[in-house]
Structure 1
């Protein structure tokens, strides 16, 4: 019987989170899934230092999704005022299209409600049309705000100019 768990990540999870996130977003392994950024950005998506910083950020958590003890997904959540920022939604390329992303999004919404947030916000690379459509089907709407993609080799080397769009979902 498969046991599913969604729980806050700890320092002990950092090496596995690092491997998961980089395998889902960058490099050849990411091309097995539909969330790859490999054609847009070279290099690593994150590293253990960056993940540790995320875990140590006040009002932030990383939720991890495990099936029978195997890490298959995660999402970064940070309370910012009355909004919950959602980032780094990650599902293993081998487990995409199994509903894990939807379960992590539901857990993020539950977390936001528990924190008395009124909305969830996120940033999405503007050329990721299929990802934007996936979020729109879940009630997220573009706000019109654009943010330049950081020129930071610690989070990748751009193959083309990129920018983020801000998306938001109001909570009832």
Structure 2
């Protein structure tokens, strides 16, 4: 599998991919859907453009043989740690190892940036997802924070909390 850094020309495909994996009816075909907890879109083009322009941020993408982006992950340098978010795989391709390989590539990027702790937040009721990360060496730090998102990233259907997970690399 080949992963490359996303650019501005990738934004339309990334918006479609991320929103389809997290929200709406298509997302329910995979196991990463948040559609029952959060309405609206997960990401917009303007936010992705800011991420791509930010020198502390990398969006890594997986492009399939048909030249369509089928997976991505967001990485941001946060002090001595690397923050991981938006680990996304097309709902139609989940459970084929793409997410695991994206995660491994993200961890390698962190180490290449001399960041030896990966950190992330996961909605506390996403038990299957938390277990997936735990099987890959991530642990709950014991800290839980409320999910507070701007409307451009969705509308909460009920209050939600997030665990902070970390892994030493």
Q: Same fold (TM over 0.5)?
A: yes
Q: Distance in 1 between matches of 2:96 and 2:10?
A: 22
Does residue 167 in structure 1 map to residue 152 in structure 2?
no
Alignment of 1:37-76 (within 5 A): 37-68=34-65, 69-76=67-74
- Write out per-residue CA displacement over residues 120-156 of structure 1, whole angstroms, 9 at most, x where no aligned residue: 0000011101000000000000001122211421111
Q: 2:105 aligns with which of 98, 107, 116?
A: 107
TM-superposed CA distance for 1:5, in Å, is 2.0
Which ranges in structure 2 are unaligned for 5 or more consecutive residues?
none
TM-score by length of 2: 0.97
CA RMSD, aligned part only? 0.9
Q: Distance in 1 between matches of 2:86 and 2:110?
A: 16
Matched residue, 1:122: 120
Q: Distance in 2 between matches of 1:151 and 1:72?
A: 25
Q: Distance in 1 between matches of 2:19 and 2:128?
A: 20
* C-alpha contact 2:13 2:68 (8 A) present in aligned 1: no
Q: Distance in 2 between matches of 1:39 and 1:31?
A: 9
Alignment of 1:1-172 (within 5 A): 4-68=1-65, 69-171=67-169
Q: Distance in 2 between matches of 1:109 and 1:80?
A: 14
Consecutive aligned runs of 4 or more in structure 1 exceeding 2 Å deviation:
none
Q: Distance in 2 between matches of 1:50 and 1:79?
A: 17
Which ranges in structure 1 are unaligned for 5 or more consecutive residues?
none
- Write out per-residue CA displacement over residues 92-111 of structure 1, whole angstroms, 9 at most, x where no aligned residue: 00000000000100100110
Q: How many residues are paired up?
A: 168
Q: Distance in 2 between matches of 1:110 and 1:159?
A: 36
